[in-house]
Structure formats: C-alpha cells, structure tokens
Amino acid sequence: MPLVANYAGKNQSEKDFALYVEEVFRLQNSVTSEIMALQEEGDFNDDTGLLKAEQSMREACAALNEYVAKETDGDSISFFLRKRVQSSAVACEDSANKVRLKLKT
C-alpha cells in the first residue's frame, strides 16, 4: 500500500506508515464485523451512542475504505485519494477505538 509524504503527523517512513494504515484498516474492519455479528445474533440494541460512533467511524474511514477497494480491484489510485488517506488515518483509528470501547460497555 504505497503512500506519499506527510504521513498524518506520524514520524514514520513511507513503509512504516503503510503498515500503520493497514493496521487501522484491520481495526475498523474488525469493529464493523463485531457490530454486524451483534446485529445478526439479535444482541444489538438500538444504542444511539454506539450508532453515532459507528457512523462517525464510517465517515472518518471513508477515504481508507475507498483506497482499499480501488487497490483490491486493481484500479488506479489518485494522488488526492492518497493524501486524503494520509490526513484521515489517525481520525479513522481514533473513531474505530471509540466504537470498540462502546462495544465493550
């Protein structure tokens, strides 16, 4: 997942930042899977706080999800999408962690 400069305020090499972004994607994907499993099992109540946090996570992680979808499909990835991923990775991670915390309470 090669990315270009800046790295969202993280002092990392391009390779390390790419690994970080991959970890963030796995985290938000795992959280989404947990929510889906709860919904399927019927253990999901209409917790407004959780739903709002999950919506915020989806918004914060939108660029990352678009990037991964394009990469998976073999589509070209624009410079601007790369920049959006770089600038949103930390917010995506923070949002996913907030949802995970709400799931545990």
Rounded-to-integer distance, Cα 27 and Cα 98, Å: 11
Return the closest-CA partner of residue 33 out of 87, 103, 88: 103
Q: Give residue 54's pLDDT.
A: 92
Report which secondary-structure segment, H or E, holds 6.
Answer: none
Q: Is the pLDDT score of 12 beyond 90?
A: no
Q: Which residue has the higher pLDDT, 10 or 64?
A: 64
Question: Given pLDDT bands bounded at 50, 70 and 90, which one contains residue 1?
Answer: very low
DSSP designation for 8: G
Provide the token pair at 41: 């099992």
Predicted TM-score (pTM) of the model is 0.83
Q: Give residue 2's pLDDT.
A: 46
Rounded-to-integer distance, Cα 8 and Cα 88, Å: 7
